[in-house]
Amino acid sequence: MSKNDIICGIDVGSSKIKTIIARIISSEENPRILGVGVAESFGVRKGMIVDLEETLNSINESVEKAERIAGFLVKRAVVSIGGNHISSQLSKGTIAVGRADGEVSSDDIERVISAAQTVSIPANKEILHIIPRNFSLDEQKDIKDPLGMSGVRLEVDALIIEGSTPYIKNLSKCFEQAKIEVESFVLSPLAAAKSILTKRQKELGVVLVDIGGGTTSLTVFEEDDLLLSVILPIGGSHITNDIAIGLRTSIDVAEKVKLEFGNALPKEIGKKEDINLSEIDSSEEGIVSRYHVAEIIEARLEEIFNLVNKELRKIEKDRLLPAGAVLVGGTAKIPGAVDLAKSALGLPAQTGFPISLGGLVDKVDDPSFATAVGLLMWEAESFQQEYWKNKITGKILGNISGNVSGMAGNMKKWIGKFLP
């Protein structure tokens, strides 16, 4: 067994940090999970690092748990990035096809996507992803993959996703101190979409709603194009805080009440159903109404779904996505959350589970692991592309490192990820 076929994804969330170590078996098989580690996320609030040392300790704890199970040390990893510092803008790139016979080559595609990168970026921002949405070749428009087609003028419409440079540097510093090389930073909702959504859903039109601890992200696809990716500064921890205030109890007890007795639909709860707080924590006392807890959860979830609807309205897709809404994240598991989403969004809704992998699948068969599994899938595609490129050319290529910004050589990787 070679250590070179080991990959790792680390999801740095506001409530949990999840590490998955896996092995690439072959180009025909999904990665096989070897180890999973989960740690409380201290030092991260609303997707932003507020304490470097605490964040580092949480990362180390999560990674060490996964390493003990897998029997491998993590040297490199693909890492999620989120928070409301993320922004995006549309861009267009145009080039002349390079070959004399007018046939579009992979070099032409890389050059036109690189040309789309030449946009005005604020001083404190840097590019995370350049996502080609569609190409035009002379008079031919809405082309998904122009490779091998003939023409003179090649254009691309691309979505540029940017992140805060200080945040990226702080997150990079944590992994440097943890002695883990970051192969690439991947936007959390894009990673989640890779592990959850099917090609058919992306074609029909779908919104993936990832309700994390401190943030909620939504990603919209239609005709296999990424239309929108937004991160909202509200999540499941706000529900816990509301319960703690409403019941006048501690955050830890409120979290247990949410997980054990929570429901997003008060009408499903009898008004005489009670919760004895002393049975949850011996230091607590009092009887609280389970119906009241459901009212608290419903109010906050409705606020989240209303914000999602507001974003969909901006792109004129509210109530107009045939594949509906797919909910992931820990909060998606609250009973009644899917039914509330159907009502609030006016769309079909379902809970999303990550794509089936090999190995320790029972550890990650959960909506809260959508991003972590997506990171593995992201890296597995890159690994396989590099592997076959090496086999064909006979060249040994260096590992991809750093973040995506400014690396024209990586552009073909993005095409493979977002085009049919």
pLDDT for residue 385: 59
CB 86 within 8 A of CB 163: yes
**Dihedral of CA 291/295/297/301: which sign?**
positive
Asked whether this chain's domains 3-84+165-197+354-418 and 87-163 adopt the same fold, the reply is no
The three-class DSSP label of residue 379 is helix
Q: CA–CA separation, 185 vs 206, rounded Å? A: 24
For the chain, the domains span 3-84+165-197+354-418, 87-163
Q: Give, to the nearest 10 degrees, the angle between helix 370-393 and helix 411-418.
A: 120
Q: CA–CA separation, 318 vs 309, rounded Å? A: 6
- Strands 358-359 and 225-232, sheet pairing: unpaired
267-310 confidence digits (pLDDT tens)? 999 888 999 998 898 888 889 999 999 999 999 999 999 999 99
Closest by CA position to 287, among listed 243, 239, 247: 247
Per-residue pLDDT of the chain (420 residues; tens, 9 = 90+): 455 689 999 999 888 999 999 998 876 678 899 999 999 988 888 778 889 999 999 999 999 999 999 999 999 999 999 888 888 888 999 999 999 999 999 999 999 999 998 888 888 999 999 999 889 999 899 898 899 999 999 999 999 999 999 999 999 999 999 999 999 999 999 999 999 999 999 999 999 999 988 899 999 999 988 998 899 989 999 999 999 999 999 999 999 999 999 999 999 998 889 999 988 988 888 899 999 999 999 999 999 999 999 999 999 999 999 999 999 998 999 999 999 999 999 999 999 999 878 777 888 889 999 999 999 998 888 765 555 444 444 433 333 333 333 333 344 444 444 443
**Terminal alpha carbon distance of the chain:** 33
pLDDT for residue 133: 87
89-99 confidence digits (pLDDT tens)? 889 999 999 99
Q: State which fold the 87-163 domain adopts.
A: Dna Ligase; domain 1 (3.30.1490)
Task: Give the pTM.
Answer: 0.86
Q: CA–CA separation, 110 vs 169, rounded Å? A: 27
Considering only the top CATH level, what class is 3-84+165-197+354-418? alpha beta
CB 103 within 8 A of CB 140: no
Q: What is the largest CA-CA distance in the chain?
A: 81
